[in-house]
Amino acid sequence: MRVAAVDDDLTQLDLTKCTLKAMNHHCHTFTEGAALMNELRRESFDLLLLDWELPDISGPDIVRWVRSNVKENIPILFVTNRRGERNVVEGLGVGADDFMSKPVGVAELAARIQALLRRAYVAPRAKEESWGRYRFIPAAARLEVDGEVVQLTQREYDLALFLFRNMGRLISRRHMLESVWKTNNPGGTELMSRSLDTHVSRVRTLLALRPENGYRLSAVYGQGYRFEAVHDPMTNAGALP
């Protein structure tokens, strides 16, 4: 998962980043709220961790902005020096999903993060995952459409599964590169960017992800890609062209 954390306490940021790394998540850190909000205008994240008191803007104001300006319902966890029932009520009232008071223990932080991600994102089934005509078998890295195996490279398979698991979300290019290509290069490279576009195009073609087949995979200028169902794919039983 891709997580953003904002805190002006560098020690806390380091603890958060190390905790998330140990959980095999990517963590992007910020020390000012405005920097995070600016990033959210063009980037996508799976979880936000916010301090309450920041040098430029308060945590509750960030939550209000996110809930008003970010279409996706990103889970938000407050990690703050604030404590007491009144602060918890206020934090949850503005739109946060959970609240922790500093100092935080690594085990509890990891448990809270895991619980939020589990509630927000459906855990994949171990044996197979299906969306209409499309059946993924993760253990074998195999995709079947209408029972027929589609020949994909490992990268194409990983990208296709990532897209289906994130259906309906606007996913930034960097998010896709981190999740599928496993690259931590903040800006990516021109070569990586071209590779991403090429793979998206091939997956769109190989899986016939077109509106007439129930799906749309489209580029969003300056941001990334959105994969969505345009109507019930179960109504389409024809084979891939």
Q: 13: domain range?
A: 2-120
Average pLDDT of 31-48?
A: 96
- Is residue 30 in some structural domain? yes
The 10s digit of each residue's pLDDT in 92-123 is 999 999 999 999 999 999 999 999 999 988 76
Final residue in a domain of this structure, among 98, 120, 142? 120
Q: In terms of Cα–Cα distance, which of 74, 61, 75, 50 is closest to 171?
A: 74
Contacts of 228 (CB under 8 A, 6+ apart): 167, 168, 215, 216
Considering the domain architecture, whether residues 188 and 136 belong to the same structural domain is answered as: yes
- What is the per-residue pLDDT across 1-19, written as a single tens digit (0 to 9) for each? 999 999 999 999 999 999 9
- Long-range own/partner contacts, residues 203-207 (CB < 8 A, 24 or more apart): 203/152, 203/156, 203/159, 203/160, 203/163, 206/150, 206/151, 206/152, 206/156, 207/134, 207/143, 207/145, 207/150, 207/160, 207/240
Q: Is residue 207, in this structure, part of any structural domain at all?
A: yes
Beta-carbon count within 10 A of 221 CB: 5
Checking if the pLDDT of 236 tops 60, the result is no
CA dist 131 and 7 (Å) reads 39
Same domain for 42 and 133, yes or no, is: no
Question: Three-state SS for 237?
Answer: coil
Residue length of the chain: 241
2-6 and 26-30 beta bridge pairing: parallel
- How is the beta sheet containing 215-220 ordered, strand by strand? 170-172, 224-229, 215-220
pLDDT band at 233 (very low <50, low <70, confident <90, very high): very low
Q: Residue 186, preceding bond cis, omega within 30 degrees?
A: no
**Same-domain check for residues 136 and 160:** yes
**pLDDT exceeds cutoff 90 at 218:** yes
**For residue 231, what pLDDT band results from cuts at 50, 70 and 90?**
confident
Q: What is the pLDDT of residue 80?
A: 94
**Bridge partners of residue 27, in order along the sequence:** 3
Say how far apart CA 147 and CA 144 lie, in whole Å.
Answer: 5
pLDDT at residue 238 in the model:
45
- Examine the domain organization and report whether 103 and 8 are in the same domain: yes
- Residue 185 pLDDT level (bands cut at 50, 70, 90): low
Lowest mean pLDDT among 72-76, 187-191, 234-238: 234-238
Higher-pLDDT residue of 232, 197: 197
pLDDT category at 126 given cuts 50, 70, 90 is low
Q: Are residues 95 and 140 in the same domain?
A: no
Q: Is residue 79 part of a domain?
A: yes
Question: In this structure, are 9 and 111 located in the same domain?
Answer: yes
Same domain, 8 and 111: yes
Can you give the pTM of this predicted structure?
0.83
How many domains does the chain contain in total? 2
| Domain CATH for 153 | 1.10.10.10
* Mean pLDDT over the full length of the chain: 91
Q: How confident is the model at residue 237, as a pLDDT?
A: 44
pLDDT band at 125 (very low <50, low <70, confident <90, very high): low
In eight-state DSSP terms, residue 56 is S
pLDDT tens for each residue of 130-173: 999 999 999 899 999 999 999 999 999 999 999 999 999 999 99
> In angstroms, rounded to a whole number, what is the distance separating the alpha carbons of residues 151 and 172?
26
- The CA–CA distances, whole Å, from 133 to 36, 44, 56, 199 equal 39, 28, 49, 21
Mean pLDDT within 44-59: 96
The answer to whether residues 105 and 146 belong to one domain is: no
